[in-house]
Structure 1
């Protein structure tokens, strides 16, 4: 029999997963707590166990999304071999994780400062991760001696442009294809 604390944690995770799916598909700015509760088939009081207000709920759901995405991305990177494959896997997995976000969600995110700050913080973390992967490749002799921080900043800038729709508008590439191209340009540009 499942312990009460385990059940509560499982239920909380399920609610956050459903909340994230709802927000990614439909955005969040136009949704009321009543609408969210109805769509998740729970009470408003249940939502208040997750966060004290709609704004806090949106922020918490955004954090939950990025934690889940990071775990998925890092699991894929851990299974990859070699620096080039690890960077390609990382950027492709990030693109796949973010590709599920609707345009409406991205617009709402851009206009809601606390959630946008979560996104921006995660982009900075991703840039640092790309820098680490480049440094590992340089140390292993797979990449030429490059300024890893610059290469990571280049990747982060493109990641933001991809997610804001700028790359799609200018090139016609969907997010997944844009991340694959970024990985190819980055890894070929720094190869020995």
Structure 2
């Protein structure tokens, strides 16, 4: 490897490290109140270094939010791929989503909601999650491990609850934090899709 290649590799590694540090900072504190000067100071780097990542604060925010959701998606899919049973896959998927979102603060979600490009990334990921749940339900129905339910409805219902969790509505009504709400959602979906012979009798 030439010295030029070595410098290029080190530069790319530093950019990746900075993006990861930005993800952690933004998840913990949001991004609306930060200027580029603030971010540079918090990350102990120059503004020119940040401009090497993106041409503006807005573009930097988009890159950071996109990176967070991309990493989360990979981790969630890895967890969901382990169980063989489709209902266990549903549970693993939803619980993994909760785990990945656990570090995200109310300030982060509020800033995402207020910034259209970031909001679109979040909404697109929520739609993808709903579609993934729908596919798992469809596959489970075909395999006979999930009772014949309307897969599109289950996906839409899960998406609606996920959105309500992220907006803080579930916490406001129930007092459950996000992780607990996702556990309840996972239990509800798993129980609701069980073959009739596996379901507990009504009491």
- Residues 1:99 and 2:72 are matched in the alignment: no
Gaps of 5+ in 2: 196-203
Alignment counterpart, residue 36 of structure 2, candidates 33, 38, 41: 33
Q: RMSD of the alignment, in Å?
A: 1.3
> 1:171 corresponds to which residue?
174
CA distance in 1, matches of 2:44, 2:7: 21
Q: C-alpha separation between the residues in 1 aligned to 2:60 and 2:66?
A: 10
Q: Report what 1:139 is aligned to.
A: 142
In 2, Cα distance between equivalents of 1:49 and 1:40: 14
Partner of 2:48: 45
- TM-score (norm: length of structure 2): 0.91
The 2-side partners of 1:88 and 1:181 are apart by: 10
Give the CA deviation at 1:26: 0.9
Partner residue, 2:198: none
Give how far 1:136 is off: 1.5
Per the normalisation by structure 1, the TM-score is 0.96
Q: Deviations over 1:88-108 (max 9, x none)?
A: 010011011112111111111
Separation in structure 2 between the aligned mates of residue 4 and residue 110 of structure 1, nearest angstrom: 38
Pair member with larger Rg: 2
In structure 1, distance between residues paired with 2:160 and 2:147: 22
State the distance in 1 between where 2:43 and 2:84 align.
40
Gaps of 5+ in 1: none
Structure 1 counterpart SS, 2:158: helix
**How far did 1:77 drift?**
1.1
Aligned residues: 192
* Cα contact 2:141–2:148 (8 A) shared by 1: yes
What SS does the aligned partner of 1:31 have? Answer: coil
